[in-house]
A and B are shown apart, each in its own frame.
Chain A
């Protein structure tokens, strides 16, 4: 019976046992609390970083299969251990610091980039009783911590003493900063429906998953989070053909590896946050009595969303920067504001008791808003056509054409 009790809720069991042990030795309660916090934070952060090893393998396999090839399959069954030799390689590469680089911002930037993602894990509820800290402003905390990551990118950009890094850094930050607007606005909707900004409260309030109530807000949040992560199709800032790897040109060895780790960890963090906010988090049959089931449900949901994000990466071509800005300011921001207004008005008109009718009404209204947006986009497209570059006739690069155009400048 004791073993079953341990199995159903290992983390709380271990925490209580450790607390009893330390208190029994005679350490004052405040210090015990502090020690438990340190152990908990250290374990969570280390587990998250170790998990990245699995994530990198998963992404490489999934992208490979989407591109009709095998992916890593030599090192271990299905290539599971591939990331470990890669890690060893990157650990032993030399750190080449460019001349004239600003030492402290240059070295602090990769640490800030990783810290900006890792700190989100402290507020995600992993099960009904397992959460780092139940901060009651968790949603805003997640976005605030994201802005620390952007600061890391700026520091990488100008600390490298390199024109391309500077330009790439500022372009990246302008993009990230623009995509924060619809993200922050669309996060108002789960906060409205749950009545609290805390992640545990939002997870607990989802008797009906919020994705059924506001699919539009969930869609906007997913799109803007993928843009915040800087992965395809929004990865203009690190495209080799455009700006030669952007702000992390001058980084080598593990410092570059840290940016890489931050990128992959960010995508799984997005999946976890989306699952908590819109898919009910740890909720599922039997999760209240047996907390470890809640953790498994959360991992399954986050895994599905992570697969969706990888799928999007493998399928869509890269956007141009002006296209990205247009979509953000002209489509996503007004859309998210109107979703907030529509949901606010609708929720007050329909009483909470009629659950099925409520879900139905919300779904219909959200679908209507999305369809109207699609129709408006079509109307605007016909009003201001983009120049079609591919159909203009251009002279072929042959010597006779060059002689013909030689007086038109060189």
Chain B
């Protein structure tokens, strides 16, 4: 039980430690000559214009939102899927109802044009 998570925690530590050590080693091996022109941010080779904040499209947010709703739906379906082998057909029908309600939501989003990348 808890030993599961201990292993995962150790693995997390190791998998964060290895790249960090590699980058640290490279930091020691590589030259370090900062220069104001080298350090300026890249904008196709010319000087930067304006501060670095872009006009954000609301489309990104809508995609994230639709993803969130479908993700929560799928998380609801996972315990059902684990118990699937022990259920009767009416158990399956209830989950199918769940899926159909949310498929209706997807069709609504489709018709409203929320899934277009403008």
Query: Are A and B close enough to touch in the complex, i.e. CB under 8 Å?
Result: yes
| Binary flags per residue of A120-141, CB closer than 8 Å to B gives 1, else 0 | 0110000000001111000011
| Binary flags per residue of A178-213, CB closer than 8 Å to B gives 1, else 0 | 101100110010011001110000000000000000
CB–CB A41/B43 < 8 A: no
Of A110-118, A356-364, A402-410, the one contacting chain B is A110-118
Q: A133-B7, A330-B110 are in contact. Are A196 and B82 (CB under 8 A)?
A: yes
Interface contact tally, CB-CB below 8 A: 214
CB–CB B41/A250 < 8 A: yes
Q: With an 8 A cutoff between CB atoms, is A170 at the interface?
A: yes
| Binary flags per residue of B1-45, CB closer than 8 Å to A gives 1, else 0 | 001101110111011101110110111011111101011111110
Q: A41-B7, A46-B18, A184-B74 are in contact. Are A166 and B52 (CB under 8 A)?
A: yes
**A123's closest neighbor in chain B, by CB?**
B8
**B93's closest neighbor in chain A, by CB?**
A345
For A92, the chain B residues whose CB sits under 8 A away are 26, 29-31
CB–CB B11/A41 < 8 A: yes
For B102, the chain A residues whose CB sits under 8 A away are 337
Among the interface residues A258, A322, A340, A348, which one has the most CB atoms of the partner chain B within 10 A? Answer: A348
Whole-angstrom distance between the Cβ of A216 and the nearest chain B Cβ:
16
Q: With an 8 A cutoff between CB atoms, is B46 at the interface?
A: no
| Binary flags per residue of B88-105, CB closer than 8 Å to A gives 1, else 0 | 110010011001101100
CB–CB A132/B103 < 8 A: no
In Å, the complex CA distance between A141 and B39 comes to 39
In Å, the complex CA distance between A326 and B118 comes to 11
Chain B interfacial residues counted at CB < 8 A: 73
Whole-angstrom distance between the Cβ of B57 and the nearest chain A Cβ:
9
Among the interface residues A45, A135, A344, which one has the most CB atoms of the partner chain B within 10 A? Answer: A344
Whole-angstrom distance between the Cβ of A227 and the nearest chain B Cβ:
13
- CB-contact partner of B67 in A49, A133, A181, under 8 A: A181
CB–CB A132/B7 < 8 A: yes
In Å, the complex CA distance between A192 and B45 comes to 54
CB–CB B32/A95 < 8 A: yes
Residues of A145-200 at the interface with B, using a CB-CB cut-off of 8 Å, are 160-164, 166-167, 170-171, 174, 177-178, 180-181, 184-185, 188, 191-192, 195-197
Residues of B52-106 at the interface with A, using a CB-CB cut-off of 8 Å, are 52-54, 56, 59-60, 63-64, 66-67, 70-71, 74-75, 77-78, 81-89, 92, 95-96, 99-100, 102-103, 106
By a beta-carbon cutoff of 8 Å, the part of chain A in contact with chain B is: 33-34, 37-38, 40-42, 44-46, 49, 90-100, 107, 110-112, 114-115, 118-119, 121-122, 132-135, 140-141, 160-164, 166-167, 170-171, 174, 177-178, 180-181, 184-185, 188, 191-192, 195-197, 244, 249-250, 253-255, 257-258, 261, 321-322, 325-326, 329-330, 333-334, 337, 340-341, 344-345, 347-349
